[in-house]
Amino acid sequence: MPDEATGLPRPSLLELFLGFAKISVTGFGLILPWARRLIVDEKKWMTAQEFNETFSLAQFLPGPNVVNLSVVFGSRMHGAAGAAVALLGLLGPPAVIATGLSALYAVYGDADILRRILTGIAAAAIGLMIAVIVKMAEPVLRRPLTPAMFMMTATFLAVGIMRWPLVATVAILAPVSVALAFWWQRR
């Protein structure tokens, strides 16, 4: 059933649970690419811009980002029940799987082939993360030149290239970002 405000499809509680269960089971610890793919590309429950804004809010809240994303998204779709169902879908299946796998790892953890398999999975996860970063940056990069572009570049250079501490970078760049945005709006 489409949402009246956006015209986008709105999932039922069961679809919400199954969607986040699918995300959690296919994610192997790197869930963001799968969440974006399901929510934006496959089900079209949100636009790319809405997903980015919702994920930004999830990053701001304390706790794991994708867990916060599931709660915020579920809440937007169906209130408290949606938040609970999305959270259960996200955390329930991996908890059951991890319990079973930990029992198997206790028995077979020293096997060399297992180490090689886990190394391959880690490499695939890094590739997925790079792909989702490119997709999430696309809406920002399509806009005309704005202060957000300068701040994104400055943050990347400070943390990624110059290896400045994140807290110091945020303490310096947050006020600069606010002042730049304020100036940009007033010009």
pLDDT of residue 71: 95
- Whether 94 and 40 share a structural domain: yes
Q: Give the count of domains, the chain.
A: 2
Residue 69's contacts (CB-CB under 8 Å, 6 or more residues apart) are: 35, 54, 55, 58
- Whether 137 and 161 share a structural domain: no
Query: Roughly how many angstroms between the first and final C-alpha of the chain, as a whole number?
Result: 43
- Residue 2 covered by a domain: no
- Whether 70 and 137 share a structural domain: yes
- Residue 136 covered by a domain: yes
What global pTM score does this model have? 0.60
- Residue 8 covered by a domain: no
Q: In whole angstroms, give the CA distance from residue 6 to residue 97.
A: 36
- Whether 107 and 159 share a structural domain: no
- Residue 123 covered by a domain: yes
Q: What is the mean pLDDT of the chain?
A: 87
**Model confidence pLDDT, tens digit, residues 40-74:** 999 999 999 999 999 989 988 888 899 999 999 99
Instruction: Return the percent helix, strand and coil in the chain, to nearest 5.
Output: 80, 0, 20
- Residue 51 covered by a domain: yes
Q: In whole angstroms, give the CA distance from residue 129 to residue 115.
A: 21
* Domain that residue 185 falls in: 145-187
**Model confidence pLDDT, tens digit, residues 132-153:** 888 888 877 777 777 878 888 8
- Whether 134 and 123 share a structural domain: yes
Q: In whole angstroms, give the CA distance from residue 117 to residue 169.
A: 37
- Residue 133 covered by a domain: yes
- Whether 107 and 94 share a structural domain: yes
Q: In whole angstroms, give the CA distance from residue 31 to residue 33.
A: 6
Structure tokens at 23: 């995300």
Residue 172's contacts (CB-CB under 8 Å, 6 or more residues apart) are: 158
Amino acid identity of residue 146, one-letter, is T
- Whether 49 and 72 share a structural domain: yes
Per DSSP, helices labelled H in the chain are: 13-27, 32-36, 48-60, 65-108, 112-142, 147-155, 166-186
